[in-house]
């Protein structure tokens, strides 16, 4: 089993074992042992739920630094639509683009065309899909990983179409390579991301194909610098040609951005892992049959509510609506470019997404059955209060850990008074 990378890291020196992260994790991938949080990598879906609840800042997102970009000869920013919702109502996307150039990027790629191309690809895929339905958007890496880990029977329902950010990375490398005479690997395509999950989708795509992007920088990482540079821009003068000039770029920021021109009764936008999980449970039970396409976002409110954004979700939503209402509609050249590229390019996913192999599944069938029986037996001896003091989020998880050899049954405080003394020692520090 290949080593799994993740979009965040845990600093053991800062961790004081308060278990907030363990309780927040929707897939029970975190344990707290010896006063420190530890990750079960194959269960982690990179949702970032742990990032916002750690009281000591021991968990942080892993994004690329500007120093790492020096190895490239030409650096292009591919800004998430969510970036433009983080500033004031009078701040334009063109000003944000100019600030990115002032930060050191050589170009800013407006990928409104790439978004429209993927909208068409989604629509065509839904129309010709033989089943089963619903098809599920793959633009949110957390949703893809949730299905791999918790709903493996649904991996074939992930729509086999690339995300717009990947198509943008592919096109900008082709375009600038021709214009500048550079090799594609000398051109950096850097995504300005609203969440750490996009980072891991670049470092280790779920479909196991190499990303067209070279890294990601968090919005919160560059926000202050962009704001400072924007305040010094008193007049944008002649905006560089094509720089953030179309409102079509912005409809992928909030929910319903991937609406593939389906009738409302066949389309369902979802935000927030809690609601997504409820709907996925119903799909597994066969309760949802008339929906053709699910647009799913792990973050509440979609990408504009990502954990690396800065602005209040509802203020950002208002800014998005303001921008979309006031920016110009694309002209004939936009439509011609979409028609040209759609006729000659392939937008299908380059690899297949497969269920993730969990640690307990690497052993043979007999051993799996033995472990399951052992876990069931252990569960009957536990109080089933799910207090978490054993270091596992639930009694069921603790029983499974003991059966797999990852824990001792005596870690339960109700079965070992010595465990209480150990906890006192750790939490007095």
Task: Give the tens place of pLDDT for each residue, 105-143.
Answer: 999 998 889 999 999 999 999 989 988 899 999 999 999
Rounded to whole angstroms, how far apart are CA atoms 41 and 28? 11
| Measured CA distances, 278 to 24, 119, 151, 275 (Å) | 17, 26, 12, 5
Q: Looking at the DSSP assignment, which residues form a beta bridge with residue 76?
A: 107, 189
Sign of torsion over alpha carbons 25, 31, 36, 40: negative
Task: Give the tens place of pLDDT for each residue, 4-53.
Answer: 888 888 998 999 888 999 999 999 999 998 889 998 888 999 998 998 89
Whether 363 has a pLDDT exceeding 60, the answer reads no
Task: Give the tens place of pLDDT for each residue, 285-329.
Answer: 888 878 899 999 999 999 999 999 999 999 999 999 888 888 877
**Stronger pLDDT, 317 or 256, i.e. the higher one:** 317
Number of helices and strands (H, E) in the chain?
A: 13, 11
Contact by Cβ (8 Å): 31, 157? no
Contact by Cβ (8 Å): 309, 87? no
Could you tell me the domains of the chain? 1-62 (3.30.70.20), 66-344 (no CATH), 363-429 (1.10.15.40)
Task: Give the tens place of pLDDT for each residue, 197-206.
Answer: 998 889 888 8
């Amino acid at each position: 089993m290949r080593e799994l990378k993740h979009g965040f890291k845990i600093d053991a020196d800062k961790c004081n074992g308060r278990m907030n992260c363990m309780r927040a994790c929707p897939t029970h991938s975190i344990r707290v042992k010896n006063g420190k949080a530890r990750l079960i990598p194959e269960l982690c879906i990179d949702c970032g739920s742990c990032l916002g609840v750690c009281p000591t800042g021991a968990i942080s997102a892993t994004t690329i630094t500007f120093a790492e970009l020096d190895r490239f000869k030409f650096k292009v920013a591919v800004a998430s639509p969510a970036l433009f919702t983080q500033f004031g109502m009078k701040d334009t996307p063109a000003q944000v683009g100019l600030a990115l150039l002032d930060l050191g990027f050589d170009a800013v790629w407006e990928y409104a065309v790439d978004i429209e191309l993927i909208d068409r690809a989604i629509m065509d895929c839904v129309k010709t899909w033989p089943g089963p339905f619903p098809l599920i958007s793959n633009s949110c890496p957390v949703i893809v990983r949730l299905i791999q880990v918790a709903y493996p029977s649904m991996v074939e329902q992930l729509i086999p179409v690339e995300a717009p950010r990947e198509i943008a990375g592919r096109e900008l490398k082709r375009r600038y390579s021709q214009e500048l005479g550079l090799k594609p690997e000398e051109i950096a395509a850097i995504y300005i991301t609203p969440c750490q999950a996009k980072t891991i989708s670049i470092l280790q795509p779920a479909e196991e194909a190499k990303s067209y992007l070279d890294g990601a920088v968090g919005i919160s990482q560059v926000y202050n610098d962009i704001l400072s540079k924007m305040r010094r821009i008193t007049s944008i003068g002649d905006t560089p040609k094509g720089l953030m000039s179309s409102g079509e770029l912005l409809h992928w920021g909030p929910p319903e951005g991937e609406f593939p021109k389906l009738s409302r009764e066949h389309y369902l936008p979802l935000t927030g892992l809690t609601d997504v999980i409820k709907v996925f449970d119903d799909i597994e039970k066969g309760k949802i049959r008339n929906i053709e396409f699910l647009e799913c976002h792990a973050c509440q409110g979609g990408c504009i509510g990502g954990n690396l954004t800065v602005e209040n979700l509802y203020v950002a939503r208002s800014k998005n609506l303001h921008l979309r209402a006031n920016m110009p509609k694309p002209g004939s050249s936009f439509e011609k470019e979409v028609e040209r590229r759609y006729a000659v390019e392939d937008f299908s996913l380059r690899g297949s997404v497969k269920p993730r192999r969990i640690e307990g599944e690497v052993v043979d069938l007999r051993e799996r059955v033995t472990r399951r029986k052992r876990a069931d037996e252990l569960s009957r001896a536990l109080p089933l209060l799910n207090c978490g003091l054993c270091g596992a989020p639930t009694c069921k998880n603790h029983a499974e850990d003991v059966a797999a050899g990852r824990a001792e049954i005596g870690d339960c405080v109700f079965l070992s008074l010595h465990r209480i003394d150990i906890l006192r020692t750790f939490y007095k520090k």
